[in-house]
């Protein structure tokens, strides 16, 4: 389904306009604080394909389950191609965790444009219609790496903020697990 949205987004006027979406103010007030647009560092062909991926991302973002499905597809593809994606693997994993947290309504403090770029990069990565086919012994992932790296550069601050939030959540889980009484103990006996 994601691939179909990607391939038809350029011809579907109703789905291709960002202003047709009603961005939720939950995503944060700083929509234009990104360092640069990812498109600035891409080739003309990559920009064209990334624009189509952004159009597909607009469609995906309308349903949280689509975001989760897309993240699952990307995890599966990344697991099979880790060597080719080494340069951007950690950033891609961070984007996947962020998209999942957003879809599950756990993390919502991200600008809409940044979320759109993240989902577009994931669509670009998952979509089998690359400029260079992925089956060419790792060469096909050059496009994927270039697009992911461009998005990461453009939204680095938002990714860092999510990573900080993630670490805070982890610290909260660890500290709360230390306060759980052992079987048969009460909270008073621990203190």
> Under DSSP, is residue 111 helix (H, G, I), strand (E, B) or coil?
coil
Q: What is the rounded end-to-end Cα distance, in angstroms, of the chain?
A: 54
Instruction: Select from 119, 115, 99, 112 the least CA-distant residue to 166.
Output: 99
Identify the segments of the chain with pLDDT beneath 70.
1-35, 82-84, 128-141, 177-191
What's residue 79's pLDDT? 82
Q: Where are the domains of the chain?
A: 2-9+41-173
What's residue 141's pLDDT? 64
CA angle, 82 then 152 then 63, to 5°: 85
Whole-number percent of the chain with pLDDT over 70: 64
Please write the tens of the pLDDT for every residue from 36-59: 788 888 888 888 888 888 988 999
What's residue 5's pLDDT? 43
DSSP-assigned letters across all residues of 16-52:
H-GGGS---GGG-S-TT--SS-GGGGS-HHHHHHHHH
Token duo for residue 90: 């950690």
Distances (CA, A) of 155 to 33, 80, 160, 178: 9, 26, 9, 35
What's residue 135's pLDDT? 43
What's residue 78's pLDDT? 84
């Amino acid at each position: 389904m994601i691939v179909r949205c990607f391939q038809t987004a350029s011809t579907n006027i109703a789905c291709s306009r960002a202003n047709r979406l009603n961005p939720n103010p939950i995503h944060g007030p700083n929509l234009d604080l990104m360092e640069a647009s990812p498109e600035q560092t891409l080739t003309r062909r990559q920009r064209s394909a990334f624009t189509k991926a952004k159009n597909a991302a607009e469609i995906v973002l309308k349903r949280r389950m689509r975001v989760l499905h897309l993240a699952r597809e990307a995890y599966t593809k990344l697991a099979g191609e880790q060597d080719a994606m080494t340069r951007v693997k950690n950033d891609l994993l961070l984007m996947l965790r962020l998209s999942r947290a957003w879809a599950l309504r756990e993390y919502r403090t991200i600008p809409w444009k940044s979320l759109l770029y993240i989902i577009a990069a994931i669509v670009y990565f998952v979509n089998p219609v690359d400029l260079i086919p992925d089956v060419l012994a790792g060469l096909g992932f050059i496009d994927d790496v270039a697009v992911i790296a461009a998005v990461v550069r453009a939204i680095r601050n938002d990714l860092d903020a999510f990573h900080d939030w993630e670490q805070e959540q982890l610290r909260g889980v660890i500290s709360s697990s230390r306060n759980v009484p052992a079987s048969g103990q009460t909270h008073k006996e621990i203190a």
